[in-house]
Amino acid sequence: MHHLAFHSFKSESHKVSSFIRNRLAHTTLGQASMEGLEQENQVLREEVATMQAKINEMAAVQTQVDELTELVQTLIAAQYQPPPPSPPVNTHVTPRLPK
């Protein structure tokens, strides 16, 4: 009977050891997984910041393009503006009175 109790204890001890090893492995994997996610999150945050900066640059360039487009349209309108009408020419000759 003593042998059976020892075997039972050994079996339970092995189960506890296995459980602890398993939990440690999962915890380690969990930590590694979490660290990996945190690292990936940081990389994604940096990419988002870079893209936001590029978007801001592009918005500034678009503003400049819009201003230049408006200027060109103004210049084209001024270039093709018809000349003002000439003053009427007086074709009526007033006779001079003799002195």
* For residue 15, pLDDT beyond 60: yes
Token pair in block for residue 58: 């592009």
Average of per-residue pLDDT across 43-55? 96
Alpha-carbon span 40 to 55, nearest angstrom: 22
In angstroms, the first-to-last Cα distance of the chain is 164
- Provide the whole-model pTM: 0.48
User: Could you tell me which residue, 15 or 33, shows the higher pLDDT?
Assistant: 33
H helix intervals, the chain: 2-79
